[in-house]
Amino acid sequence: MMQQQGLPTLEQIKTVLLNTFSNNRAQQLEAENFLSQLRHVNGFCSSILQLVLQSQQENSQQALYIQQAGVIFLKNFITKNYDERGNFFGEEDSEPTEKLIPISAEDRQFLRENILKALVMSSTVIQSQLCVVLHTMICTDYPVNWVNLVDEIVNLLKSNDVRCVYAALLALDSLLKRYKTALEDHYRIVVNDIVSRTFDIVTGLFQYLLSQNTDEFAVMRKLIVKVIWSAFQNGVPQYYTLEVKEGKLDRFTKLMEMLLESYKIQVPPLNIDSVENPHWKVKKWIGHFGYRLLLTFSALEVRPNTSAEEAKIAEYFISQHAQKFLQIFLQLVQYNIKGSYVPYRIITLVFRYLDGCISNPDLYKSTIISNLKALIVETIFPYLYFSSGDKELWEFDPQEWIRIGYDLSEDLWNTRINAMGTLTTLLTTRRKDSFGIYLQYITEVLTNYANGTHVNPSLKDAVLYTIGNMSKLFSKSAMTKDKIEDLLLMFVFPEFTNTQQPYLRARACWALGRFSEISYKNPSTMNDGMKHVLNCLQDKQIPVRIQAGLTLSCLLNLENSIQQIRPILPQLLDVYMSIMNEMEHSTVVRSIELLVGAFAEEMEPFAVSICSRMSATYIRLLDEDDNDLDNAESDILMENCIQTILTLMQSFTSKPGVYRQLEPVILPLILKILENQEYGYDFVENAMDMLTYLTYYCENGMVSENCWSILPAIYEAFNGWAYDFIGYLVASLDNFISKNPQRFLQNPDHVTMVYHLCAKHLGKDAETVEKEAQGACKILSSMMQNCKGAIDSEIPKYLEMVMCQIDLAESPAFTVLLLEVVADAIIYNMELALSFIESKQFTVKLFSKWFQTLPKFMRVYDKKIAVIAFSNIIGYPNFSSLPQALQANVEYLVNASIRLLKEISELKKKLAEEKDKEEDDGDFEDDYDSEEEEYNNGGSTTDKQMTLTVDSLKHNPHLQKLVETLTSSSYDVQADEEIDEMEIFDSLLDKFDENVYFGKAMVSFSSSPSFQAIVAKLSNEDSNSLQQLMQASMQQ
């Protein structure tokens, strides 16, 4: 097909649209490419819509193809390009993600004039696509550029043609949805205007639609309820509040009556079991709206800017209508309980509404309190039973039965979970009235079951389910806390040996796990419980085995549990791996992780097999073509696999040989993450945590060749998509540099790699984000401390980066790190560093900044590195060759060093005292004060705590401190209180005592003519201390 230079004819475009449905793949691709090229041509999108309108006059398959291809093109093109800001759905601050294709003013006008016409004539399938186009146009054009839109909708609403009315309702719904998250007052003014101009007609239409019970009328009723729902998104529209000022509530009363009447309309028998039946959808949306009103009006007093009229309507709804909604909702529940079909989402909405009524004091007193027993026994408990659907799923798809029970995405619409949530609300918020009634009922059920009077296993499962979910209440209530042990022995333990109902064996395991943290009077109770759970691990039924495995992880902290499990640990791990073969689920992996943590010292023989399994599962999920990026369970499972590996790696810090064994398993996993940008964002931190273990705890102190081999992949990732995550790279890269500097320097590309990585954050044209740039500073310091004498050519580059950023740095923490790069450069090669700084005429500016920032040097490490750098200058044998500015201001260097040494001494003393106090208290803190806050608040100690970013290192204090120091976006004083920063870096600075270093510098400087003048200005105390330092240094 020839490429068109201008706008093709309608007939040509028609042919192209038809070719997108061609069976010939080449012809199809050519047509799609042709459409893509024509997107830039003025008039093209108008031509597409014109063809759609024309084809709606025909009744043929070809016409349908043209409509489908045309509206899909329009939807994709308009949603991406209509808003010139890239603001596709009306968000004020969104940024375009790709270059937009301009749409001419003529095309926009044509679309505005004809989109509603197309909506009127389209089928339902086409309308759904056009509604997306319409909504995008509304978000951009209404009201400024589409002033007559509401008038067009009103005209269609007044039409006698049902197609026009339905299209008008679709357009009105799209228009009101535009403002569903717009809370500003000026947006509410727009909504009020739309509602006031349309709702008289909509109300009359709704009343008329109640007269017949056809599918067509039900579809229209559903759409009207959705329109009403959208109108009430941000409060009661003025259409209803204005009449309140006149003492009337007629409009709101009429609305409530119509909604109640609509809900009462019976669903016709045809397709009654279909969730897509429009009559059920009407009830679902009324359930949504009723619940929204209840929540909004119950919490109105805490909402800002609530008008007196809106408060009056809220009070009126709660007192006059809320109970009526509850009654008709509960009637539908009873209809379902008796065996008739009701979609589960509608039942779920009923329980949510009931939950809201229980929480509302007025509704609770007027509606709920007098019917508590019936509510618990006849409404809630029937949805907690082990149902026939559960039984079928258990028998034919046990993995799915387990998945549903633990899948977070199921919670929202699961009727059992929502019924239990309602019962929980009742028993916790109205405990005084309800808990005794509940206890009486479950005691009767359990006793009758135990006596054989009334044996209903499904009901017993429901009772145990409620008891387990209310374990905290049972543990605290005076009515039950002393009876839990007897309850377990009498009613739970017997089910471990129930051969007829395997689901009760699983429920017994689950219930025991829910009470794993209580104190038992008889130690043998939990010992026996542990034995039962261990036996269930060998059960023939998959769900029982899985539940037993999950319960076992809850019992690991119990006294004597470790002793019971240790002898069978190998077999237990085999069982868990077998369970994973049957069902890969996050809860199973989490159980393995807990087991690994509990038996850390015994895990060496199993390390490779466990890591291999976790890695394989993770990589499989990563590679699955049909893997849903929004699948919460897959995400949790992947995260748990990684955390299990990290938990395992924490166990072997005293056995570096194990890490070498794990490398063939771990390194491919790290590479997989680094090479997969789509998933890497979520897991790059984990990958670098694993690499930190492999490179820090390496055999013979040498990083293996296998680890060295992945450096190119690290560079490619962090120089590309992962450059924002450089903070996660610091610890592992420092290990590469410090463990074997000679090996690192063998490859010149490694040095170049470091420069490019850091320049992305610190260079002249870098888009610096200080949090990430701090990591780059730490890498530069590591290079200079570990590669002394080998990277002279890099020092000017490093200093150039500091000069680019030092005046731009906003946070004190970033400024300190930049100055410490300068300090490292001076320590590395003072002549080289100072001569370059002076050549840029930057000496005075840099050292002035340094002296100004010294009060922000908070840690021992900060102060020490400054002292050593200053000492290098002070004690330089050829002092007269230094830049004149430094010679003239050497007094400042001496005084600053003396002051810093005093601060170091005081801080070390304070740290030692706090360390002793912590040991006395036996209280080790995992969390550290935020150092960035410490710096930015001028150094005052705060009590604010922050959680370590590297969660996987919680239980390994030494490596925890390493990674915290190297990857934290900010330093902190509390971290230095816990550790001496100098012990973390295996650097040249470890060799030096700062007092001796400064003393020797002053001995060398004592021959200078200015020495005596400087010393004479010191206080007696400082002068004496200096003399002692000098004398002591000469003896070492």
Q: How confident is residue 429, by pLDDT bands cut at 50, 70 and 90? A: very high
Q: Are 173 and 187 in a shared domain?
A: no
What's the pLDDT tens digit per position in 806-863?
Answer: 988 888 999 999 999 999 999 999 999 999 999 999 999 999 999 999 999 998 889 9
Coil/strand/helix, residue 96: coil
What's the pLDDT tens digit per position in 134-176?
Answer: 999 999 999 999 999 999 999 999 999 999 999 999 999 999 9
The two tokens of residue 525 are: 């109770």
Q: Are 897 and 968 in a shared domain?
A: yes
Q: Are 102 and 173 in a shared domain?
A: yes
- Mean pLDDT of all residues in 87-103: 55
Would the pLDDT of 243 be above 70?
yes
- Mean pLDDT of all residues in 440-461: 94
The two tokens of residue 191 are: 């909504």
Q: How many whole angstroms separate alpha carbon 286 and alpha carbon 222?
A: 8
What's the pLDDT tens digit per position in 578-629?
Answer: 777 766 667 778 778 888 888 877 888 888 998 998 898 888 888 774 445 4
Q: How confident is residue 182, by pLDDT bands cut at 50, 70 and 90? A: low
pLDDT at residue 981, rounded to an integer: 37
Q: Is residue 942 part of a domain?
A: yes
The range of the structural domain enclosing residue 268 comes to: 183-359
Where among 177, 194, 229 does a domain terminate? 177
DSSP labels, 953-966? GTT-HHHHHHHHHH
Q: Which residues contact 506 (CB under 8 A, 6 or more apart)?
A: 536, 541, 543, 544, 547, 548
What's the pLDDT tens digit per position in 59-77?
Answer: 888 999 999 999 999 999 9
457 prior amide bond cis, ω within 30: no
pLDDT at residue 975, rounded to an integer: 33
Q: How far is CA 891 from each of CA 825, 885, 888, 897, 1016, rounded to the nearest angstrom?
A: 22, 11, 8, 10, 11
Q: How many whole angstroms separate alpha carbon 958 and alpha carbon 1002?
A: 36
pLDDT at residue 99, rounded to an integer: 67
Q: Are 240 and 142 in a shared domain?
A: no
Q: Are 351 and 214 in a shared domain?
A: yes
Beta carbons of 799 and 822 less than 8 angstroms apart: yes
pLDDT at residue 84, rounded to an integer: 66
Residues in the chain, total:
1036
Q: Are 168 and 216 in a shared domain?
A: no
Q: Are 158 and 254 in a shared domain?
A: no
Burial 659-695 (b: 16+ CB within 10 A, else e): bbbbbebbbebbbbbbebeebbeebbbbbbbbbbbbb
Q: Is residue 85 part of a domain?
A: yes
Q: Are 844 and 977 in a shared domain?
A: yes
Which range, of 472-486, 567-581, 738-752, 821-835, averages the lowest pLDDT?
567-581
Amino acid at 933: E
CATH number at residue 88: 1.25.10.10
- Mean pLDDT of all residues in 703-714: 94
Q: Are 155 and 78 in a shared domain?
A: yes
Q: Which residues contact 374 (CB under 8 A, 6 or more apart)?
A: none
Q: Which residues contact 59 (CB under 8 A, 6 or more apart)?
A: none
Which H or E run contains 464?
helix 457-469
Which range, of 325-339, 400-414, 736-750, 1015-1029, averages the lowest pLDDT?
400-414
Beta carbons of 229 and 289 less than 8 angstroms apart: yes
Would the pLDDT of 1007 be above 90?
no
Q: How confident is residue 348, by pLDDT bands cut at 50, 70 and 90? A: very high
Would the pLDDT of 889 be above 60?
yes
Would the pLDDT of 544 be above 60?
yes
Which range, of 41-55, 541-555, 721-735, 829-843, averages the lowest pLDDT?
541-555
Which H or E run contains 206?
helix 185-209
Which H or E run contains 945?
strand 945-946
Q: Which residue has the higher pLDDT, 764 or 713?
A: 713
pLDDT at residue 406, rounded to an integer: 66
Q: Is residue 603 part of a domain?
A: no
Q: Is residue 770 part of a domain?
A: yes
Beta carbons of 149 and 119 less than 8 angstroms apart: no
pLDDT at residue 640, rounded to an integer: 82
Beta carbons of 422 and 380 less than 8 angstroms apart: yes
pLDDT at residue 944, rounded to an integer: 27
Q: Are 157 and 239 in a shared domain?
A: no
% the chain with pLDDT above 70: 88
Which range, of 114-123, 353-362, 379-388, 630-639, averages the lowest pLDDT?
630-639
Where among 359, 383, 403 does a domain terminate? 359
**DSSP assigned state of 3:** P
Which range, of 38-42, 872-876, 897-901, 940-944, averages the lowest pLDDT?
940-944
Q: How many CB atoms lie within 10 A of CB 975?
A: 23
Q: Is residue 806 part of a domain?
A: yes
Would the pLDDT of 742 be above 80?
yes
Would the pLDDT of 314 be above 80?
yes
Q: Is residue 236 part of a domain?
A: yes
Amino acid at 380: I
What's the pLDDT tens digit per position in 633-692?
Answer: 677 788 888 888 898 888 888 888 899 999 999 999 999 999 888 777 888 999 999 999
Q: How many whole angstroms separate alpha carbon 311 and alpha carbon 236?
A: 10
Surface-to-core class of residue 362, CB atoms within 10 Å of its CB (0-12 exposed, 13-18 middle, 19+ buried)? middle
Q: Is residue 506 part of a domain?
A: no
Q: Are 156 and 48 in a shared domain?
A: yes
| pTM of the model as a whole | 0.71
Would the pLDDT of 928 be above 70?
no
Where among 330, 359, 388 does a domain terminate? 359
Q: Is residue 17 part of a domain?
A: yes
Number of domains in the chain: 3
Q: Are 225 and 82 in a shared domain?
A: no
pLDDT at residue 90, rounded to an integer: 41
